Amino acid sequence: MTDKRAPLAWDLQNTFFDSFKDQDDLHCSLVAPSPLHNPLMVSSNSSLAVELGLNPESVNDPEMLRLMAGDFSGAQLQPIALVYSGHQFGVWAGQLGDGRAMTLGELPVHNSNSGKSQLWDIQLKGAGATPYSRFADGRAVLRSSIREYLCSEAMHSLGIATTRALCLVTSETPVYREEVESAATVCRVARSHIRFGSFEHFHYRNQPEAVKAMADYAINRHFPEWAEEELRYANLFNHTVTETAKMIAHWQSVGFAHGVMNTDNMSILGDTIDYGPFGFLDVYNPDFICNHSDANGRYSFKNQPSVGLWNLNALATSLMTLLSSETLVTALKTYEPTFLEHYRDLMTAKLGLVQYTDSDENLINQLLTLMEENQVDYSLFFRQLCLFSSDNQSVRDLFVDRDAFDDWAKLYVQRLNQQQMSDNNRSATMLKTNPKYILRNYMAQAAIEKAEQGDYSEVNLLLEVLQSPFEEHPKAEHYARLPPDWAETISVSCSS
């Protein structure tokens, strides 16, 4: 039987542009991409294609390659770039916008659970300059495109709300950064690309009607059941607060550092967006700074929860023409308890505990302090802890101060004995909770170096592994070990 699902370009809508076209270029601008020269498909994400209702083989068709490389000749598309502003490193930066991204349209995807269709943004990143490029070329380089392509899929497979990527294209088009590099594009897929900064932009321009129009669009698209409710704007902000708190709690539980949590990099839906100088923890270090550009450590690993609240306060300020101060403050006060509840539940599960109790706070904090003092690898520890029992405590070998670990382990065993679960069942559950594979920076770097020599096998191997990070992958077993010493020398900045 022939699969007749249509290639990507044939089903796209643009309801965002339709919603705002009577406001000229207030919310977005029509743009035209600049095609890449001699494009080549580096990798395509078959599993995402299936989820979007597409024929995975069509993503590798010459027609699709041409489209993903920014050649829209003959395609009935009206790509747009969105305008937004934002606070960058805590300082108001004014107008920003999609400087190297353009939304091709919105793809209706049938949701089998609800029986309804949901729109997903299809965005091309790196296809050339837009009105918001601020004198830049609008291009993306291969190294940063590989990092986003792999990490967005890794995060999704860890259960974290995120944008995703359908395919990755490289080319012979030169891009001039610190040195000459290859231009690339990533086809990014998201439930929405509306950011905190989308609302800030119009608030600081004193355009309350535009703020309202943006909120109405978000509600009509994502929460149509609220559209006629008096509390629709309060519902939207409450949702953003809750989902942002959950997202960042999940980041903390897996040891992920975003690196550049500016308000223009925060999704109104609480999805992880804009993968630049990110990093996963190797040794547990709450002061970890993954962004070389972050000289003061504003976006260090331990600061992410508080920065999330700071950003939500900035969003609240931009919604003051829609909601009272009392309503906004009430919503903001739910952030910390929501974060703590979700984080505690996640950490409890990582320890193989069925349900969080108040005493577990001390157990978790003692462990993290011990891991910091002994410079223990975060992900490797929790994976090895899955096999912990009274007869198997080999995980203690990760610690220099083994007596201190033994003291903690006694408390841990006492806690485990309080629940009715066998070691085998607990181990099986923990193995589905603690990933064997995360996208460490050195892994991405290995894929980048091979790709820059024309070998894309490592990109595709990592994609396969990161899509099932809890499973065994004999071909990638070396990526489940301690990182090599040279991994510490990798420096990632906002230009990455």
Of 345, 321, 323, nearest to 332 (Cα)?
Answer: 323
Which residues, 6+ apart, have CB-to-CB distance to 290 below 8 Å?
257, 258, 259, 277, 278, 279, 299, 301, 441, 492
Q: What is the mean pLDDT of residues 117-143?
A: 92
Q: What is the mean pLDDT of residues 301-321?
A: 98
CA distance 395 to 405: 9
Please tell me what DSSP assigns to residue 133. Answer: S
CA angle 287–459–111, rounded 5-degree value: 85
Q: Which residues of 368-388 are buried (b: 16+ CB within 10 A; e: fewer)?
A: eebbeebebbbbbbbbbbbeb
C-alpha count within 13 angstroms, C-beta hemisphere, residue 442 = 15
CA 31 to chain centre: 26
Confidence bin at 490 (pLDDT 50/70/90): confident
Does residue 164 or residue 489 have the better pLDDT?
164
Are 433 and 385 spatial neighbours (Cβ–Cβ below 8 Å)?
Answer: no
- pLDDT at residue 77, as a whole number: 86
Which residues, 6+ apart, have CB-to-CB distance to 449 below 8 Å?
none
3-state class (DSSP) for residue 46: helix
CA distance 78 to 32: 8
Does residue 16 or residue 399 have the better pLDDT?
399
The mean-pLDDT minimum among 98-112, 247-261, 291-305, 457-471 falls in 98-112
Are 109 and 51 spatial neighbours (Cβ–Cβ below 8 Å)?
Answer: yes
The DSSP bridge partners found for residue 85 are 95
- Residues 365-396 have pLDDT tens digits of 999 999 999 999 999 999 999 999 988 889 99
Q: Where are the beta strands (DSSP E) in 74-179?
A: 80-82, 85-88, 91-95, 101-110, 117-125, 140-141, 164-176
Please tell me what DSSP assigns to residue 225. Answer: G
Structure tokens at 319: 């919604």
Of 273, 270, 266, nearest to 88 (Cα)?
Answer: 266
- pLDDT at residue 392, as a whole number: 87
Q: For the chain, how many residues are written?
A: 496
Confidence bin at 133 (pLDDT 50/70/90): very high
- pLDDT at residue 20, as a whole number: 79
CA angle 225–229–233, rounded 5-degree value: 95
Please state the φ and ψ torsions of residue 360, each to the nearest 5 degrees: -70, -20
- pLDDT at residue 2, as a whole number: 43
Using N-to-C axis directions, what is the helix angle for 232-254 and 208-222, rounded to 10°? 70
Confidence bin at 3 (pLDDT 50/70/90): very low
Provide the whole-model pTM: 0.95
Q: What is the mean pLDDT of residues 268-281?
A: 96
The mean-pLDDT minimum among 51-55, 154-158, 268-272 falls in 51-55
Percent of all residues in the chain with a pLDDT value above 70, rounded to a whole number: 96
Please state the φ and ψ torsions of residue 349, each to the nearest 5 degrees: -65, -40
Please tell me what DSSP assigns to residue 44. Answer: E
Are 286 and 172 spatial neighbours (Cβ–Cβ below 8 Å)?
Answer: no
Confidence bin at 495 (pLDDT 50/70/90): low
- Residues 44-87 have pLDDT tens digits of 999 999 999 998 888 889 999 999 999 998 788 889 999 999 99
- pLDDT at residue 399, as a whole number: 97
- Residues 423-481 have pLDDT tens digits of 999 999 999 999 999 999 999 999 999 999 999 999 999 999 999 999 999 999 999 99
Q: Which residues of 78-111 are buried (b: 16+ CB within 10 A; e: fewer)?
A: bbbbbbbbbbbbeeeeeebbbbbbbbbbbbbbee
**Does residue 167 have a pLDDT over 90?**
yes
Please state the φ and ψ torsions of residue 454, each to the nearest 5 degrees: 90, 10
Q: What is the mean pLDDT of residues 343-360?
A: 96
**Does residue 15 have a pLDDT over 70?**
yes
Q: Which amino acid is at 292?
A: H
Catalytic-residue membership of 423: no
- pLDDT at residue 488, as a whole number: 76
- pLDDT at residue 494, as a whole number: 60
Could you give the residue ranges of the DSSP H alpha helices within 114-231?
A: 142-157, 196-204, 208-222
- pLDDT at residue 116, as a whole number: 80
Of 407, 326, 414, nearest to 373 (Cα)?
Answer: 407
**Does residue 496 have a pLDDT over 50?**
no
Using N-to-C axis directions, what is the helix angle for 196-204 and 208-222, rounded to 10°? 160
Mean pLDDT of the chain: 93
The DSSP bridge partners found for residue 377 are 283
- pLDDT at residue 114, as a whole number: 72
Give the N- to C-terminal CA distance of the chain in Å, as an integer: 44
- DSSP codes joined into one string, 272-333: B---SS-EE-SB--TT----TT-TT-TT-GGGHHHHHHHHHHHHHHHTTTTS-HHHHHHHHT
Residue reference for tokens 């949590």 = 261
What is the domain partition of the chain in residue ranges? Answer: 8-196, 353-431
**Does residue 164 have a pLDDT over 80?**
yes
- pLDDT at residue 8, as a whole number: 55
Catalytic residue among 3, 24, 71, 264: 264
**Does residue 402 have a pLDDT over 80?**
yes
CA distance 350 to 342: 12
**Does residue 359 have a pLDDT over 60?**
yes
CA distance 108 to 118: 5
